[in-house]
């Protein structure tokens, strides 16, 4: 693998940093979404709203749940600090009940659901 293939994009690093810096607000928004989900309410519009407002962060969240091996590899290659990894793991654990809904949104937007 060449050096260019091993490098992690600046966009990815920027998104990780943005997630870490904005984690309080992100967690607050997802706490509200999780609360609705726990009551049996439809949260697709909420997830779409978050994705529309913060597409890179949503992509990072989707990767946390559904591209674990590739995601961990990128974190390793970028030498992402442990406190940032811990914050992402906290998110993953805290909002695990939403993983399928996030996946459904992505699959639906790709036209893979009928």
Residue 101 lies in a domain: yes
For the chain, the C-alpha Rg in angstroms (whole number) is: 15
Range with the poorest average pLDDT among 8-12, 19-23, 42-46, 99-103: 8-12
Domain range for 97 is: 9-107
Residue 30 lies in a domain: yes
Residue 62 lies in a domain: yes
Answer whether residue 85 shows pLDDT above 60.
Answer: yes
Report the pLDDT value the prediction gives residue 5, as an integer from 0 to 100. 44
* Burial readout 4-28 (b: 16 or more C-beta within 10 A, e: otherwise): eeeebeeebeebbeebbeebeebbe
Distances (CA, A) of 100 to 2, 11, 37, 106: 35, 26, 12, 10
Report the pLDDT value the prediction gives residue 114, as an integer from 0 to 100. 52
Q: 95 and 28 in contact (C-beta within 8 Å)?
A: no
Residue 79 lies in a domain: yes
Residue 44 lies in a domain: yes
Q: What is the mean pLDDT of the chain?
A: 86
Domain count, the chain: 1
Does pTM surpass 0.95? Answer: no
Residue 3 lies in a domain: no
């Amino acid at each position: 693998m060449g050096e260019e293939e091993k490098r992690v994009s600046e966009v990815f690093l920027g998104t990780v940093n943005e997630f870490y810096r904005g984690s309080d607000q992100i967690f607050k928004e997802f706490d509200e979404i999780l609360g609705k989900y726990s009551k049996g309410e439809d949260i697709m519009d909420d997830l779409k709203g978050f994705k529309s407002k913060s597409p890179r962060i949503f992509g990072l969240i989707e990767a946390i749940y559904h591209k674990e091996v590739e995601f961990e590899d990128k974190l390793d290659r970028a030498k992402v600090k442990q406190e940032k990894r811990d914050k992402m793991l906290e998110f993953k654990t805290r909002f695990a009940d939403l993983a399928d809904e996030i996946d459904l949104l992505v699959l639906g937007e790709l036209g893979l659901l009928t």
